[in-house]
Structures are given as structure tokens and as C-alpha cells.
Chain A
């Protein structure tokens, strides 16, 4: 699979969880890439995605910044 195809797979997985209402709860970054923990605010269910592509890391990071901004606005 090309790296671009791998990125599309990872992006779809991230989008799927975000569309179901999950929030990024924690990120572990190491030599293998990023492990992104998601949590659903209603039932506390958890999911973890392993993001290995550079574009995938940019993608979830952009979503995280958006999430942080939204939660900041809500808190205000």
C-alpha cells in the first residue's frame, strides 16, 4: 500500500470516530508513530488508533487543535 493510501485509511478511521462523537483524550508518540486514544464523553467508551503516516499525524493534530479550540469556547 502506498503511503498516501495508508494515510487515507488512517484519516477514515479518525473521521469515523470523530463523527460518532469521540474526542481525542490522549496521545502517545514513540518510534512507531502515534497512538491516539479516543473517548466518548457519553458512555466513556474508548478506542485507540495507531497512526503511522506523517500526513495522518498532521491530520489528527489539526483535529485536536480544533477540538481544543471548541472546548475552550464552550468553557468560556
Chain B
């Protein structure tokens, strides 16, 4: 059995699975239930001046039978007084001393406000703080959350104020509602952050009711944008984690968040640089006990790979993530259709013919049976046929050898520039 424990900027937890700051971590009752189920840590739902919420708060996208492919909320931070939360945090930590309790914080961008809340929260014995610079709705209209998190100077300054008084590790949670998340991640590092976490939710409107033309969700006939999360956002989150992980100026641990629903998702985030992961939507969809499968699956994976500690995964795929200009232009793959598996639905042919490179022929053999065949010389290896194919194993994308040496776009352009500089010499 592998060692699943992690140490994120000094915050230790028995496994890499934390609950994210959200409705599942609203109270001591919930967090203690989560720890009993096996979660390694929890980021307490954001503390700040208690807010007022609206009724009708969540909405979800179902896609082709999968419930909660994407999830949206317009709920704000805690609506309970800080004394109540702190009492429950203290009790929870006392009962689960080896589990990580991190507390999410959000106050106005004023130094004294940050100093006050940091001191009060740390007094009850938390393992770390997470600064909520990401919540995109409601609080942002008041200059907090993503409104702060979209301005690098504000991220840096507020992080600095927190670090002036904090004695526990400080994680800065970043918003994805920005062109380049590395800009705010770098600002957090400049401000002294011990770690960063990403992503918070993405601005979203889930839909419009075709019968009554109300937004989904709506509050008495009016709607406002919410924060989007769940499996649909995972690729966006994974890219943002990877972009930060490969940035040499962002040299702090990363807590990965965004659509993580399984142990496989967690491994992907860790391979791309996350030290641990935070989960919300999957727990809201399936309950706290999904962590049991996550722990078992991760354990089995590590054992099968012969890996002693989950921490050995961290960042292993980061060197494989680069800019497009560093990809090999002479690397080629082509589609191969396995006719013994293919059911001749022709989806690959239609997709290729209509929207790609017209290289899959519909043929008939000597017995009059239809079959599909790829003209490999015209195949560009786009993967579309294998993506739309409904049958596993019917289409393989296989590498074809090239007589040409690997060549990236950057290498090509450098060569072109060189020949332009040298043409006079050659002519001489």
C-alpha cells in the first residue's frame, strides 16, 4: 500500500483529497462527516461578513444522459456569524487532529480587515488559510472575490497584508475569469503566497427556459451570472494548473481544483503539477463516500506502477507540456480501421468527409460486404474519426515512421532566418 499523505506548503494531510470551499464545507457537522468518510482535508466555506443568500441557487447541465456534466451556483460565502464557524472549526480540529483544515477567507481589500480575520481564524488552530480571490458572483459586485482576483496588484497587495500577520501557510485561490492566470499567480507569489489553488468557478449562465423565458436558475423572474464547475470545466482547470506549474516564476505548490470527480482526474492534476486536489461538485452529486473509491483507486494505481508515495507523481508530466512552437512537425499518426471490430455505422466516414480531410473510403469487398478504409497518405492524423467512433477498438491512431528528423516550428523559423542572413555569403 502506497503512502498517500501529502505536504502542501507545510499543510499535511493523510491523502491528497480535500473538499473545496463550498456548500459541502459549510459546517462542522458536514466537515466531520467528510473526515469520517475518508477525506484528507477540507477548505472551510469562505468566512467573511455574513451574507444574505437568495433562494434557487444551483443549476446543472445534463448531457446525453450524464447528470451534472456541468454545475452552476449563485450561492455566496457563509451566512453564519464567524463565532459559530470558529467554534465548529475548533471542535472539528480537536476531533480530527491529523486531518487538514484550511479556512477560506474573503473581506474587503483593506489591510485592517485582513489582519483582523486572519488573527481570529488562526486563534482556533487551523492548518492553513485560503484567500478567496475567485468567487465570480455577488461578492465580486462588492469589490471582493474575482473582482480582486482579476487585478494582479490587488492580489499581490492583499496577499502581502495577510502574510504580515499569518502564522500558518497561505494559499491564494485564483479566478479563471482572466485572460492569463499566470499573471495573477505570479502576483500571489510576489505577495508572499505559500501556495496557490485553482480554479475557482467560471462565469456562466446555465440556460433560458423556453416556455417562460426565465433564466436558469431564476429568482422571482430574474437571473444573474453564476459560477460554473463540474466535469465540464476540468480541461480548462488542468491547463491553468499546467501553465502555472511550468512557469519558473511560480515556484510554490499548487492545489488543483476544477471538475475532479475520480482518482484518475486527481492523478492527472498531480502529474501536471498539483500537490493535492480539491473536490466539490462530485461530492455534491454523489455524497462524501465517493472518496472511498478515490482512495482505493489511487492506491491500486500506485501499487501497479510500483510507486511508493503519491508525492512522486507531482509534476511528472509538466516537462511534456510546452508551447505549440516546440511540437514536432514531422511526427505523423494515421487512422487504422479494424474491420473486424467496426460496425460500419459510417460515422467516421461522414465526419471525415464533411468536416476533415476526406480520406476514409466506403468500399465493397468481393463478397459484397461494405467496409471502410483509410487512405493513409491523405490522413493528417487529426483523431476525429476515432473521437466520433462509437465502438472501442474499431479505430486505432498509429504512428508512422518518417525519414525526416524531428523539426519544430521554432526550429524551422530559426532556420529560415539563418538562411536569410547567410544568402549573401552563399552567393559569394
Contact = CB atoms under 8 A, between A and B. Distances in A.
A59 B403 CA distance: 10
A26 interface: yes
Nearest to A24: B419
Given A4-B377, A65-B415, A41 B426 contact: yes
Given A64-B412, A71-B422, 12 more contacts: A4-B378, A25-B426, A26-B419, A27-B419, A27-B420, A41-B426, A62-B330, A62-B407, A64-B415, A65-B407, A65-B411, A68-B418
Contacts of A58: 329-330, 404, 407
Given A26-B420, A65-B411, A39 B405 contact: no
Per CB-CB distance, the 7 closest pairs between chain A and chain B, nearest first, are A4-B377, A62-B404, A61-B412, A65-B415, A64-B415, A25-B423, A26-B423
B343 interface: no
B415 A61 contact: yes
A69 B222 CA distance: 66
A3 interface: yes
Contact of B427 (A3, A29, A39, A59): A39
B407 A61 contact: yes
Nearest to A65: B415
Interface residues of B, number: 18
B416 interface: yes
B378 A2 contact: yes
Contacts of B404: 58-59, 62
Interface in A3-49: 3-4, 23-27, 29, 37, 39, 41, 44
A52 B401 CA distance: 23
Contacts of A24: 419
Q: Give the interface residue-count category, chain A.
A: 20 to 34
Interface of B: 329-330, 377-378, 404-405, 407, 411-412, 415-416, 418-420, 422-423, 426-427
Contact of B419 (A3, A59, A66, A68): A68
A58 B412 CA distance: 8
15 contacts: A2-B378, A24-B419, A25-B419, A26-B420, A26-B423, A27-B416, A58-B404, A61-B329, A61-B415, A61-B416, A65-B407, A65-B411, A65-B412, A66-B405, A68-B419
Nearest to B413: A61
A54 to B, nearest CB: 9
Contacts of B378: 2-4
Contacts of B407: 58, 61-62, 65
Most chain B beta-carbon neighbours within 10 Å: one of A39, A44, A65, A67: A65
A25 B415 CA distance: 11
A11 B65 CA distance: 50
B288 to A, nearest CB: 52
A55 to B, nearest CB: 9
Contacts of A62: 330, 404-405, 407
B423 to A, nearest CB: 5
Given A61-B407, A65-B411, A25 B330 contact: no
Interface centre among B330, B378, B404, B415, by most chain A C-beta atoms within 10 angstroms, is B415
Nearest to B404: A62
A26 B377 CA distance: 29
Nearest to A2: B378
A23 B422 CA distance: 12
A22 to B, nearest CB: 11
A25 B427 contact: yes
Contacts of A61: 329, 407, 412, 415-416
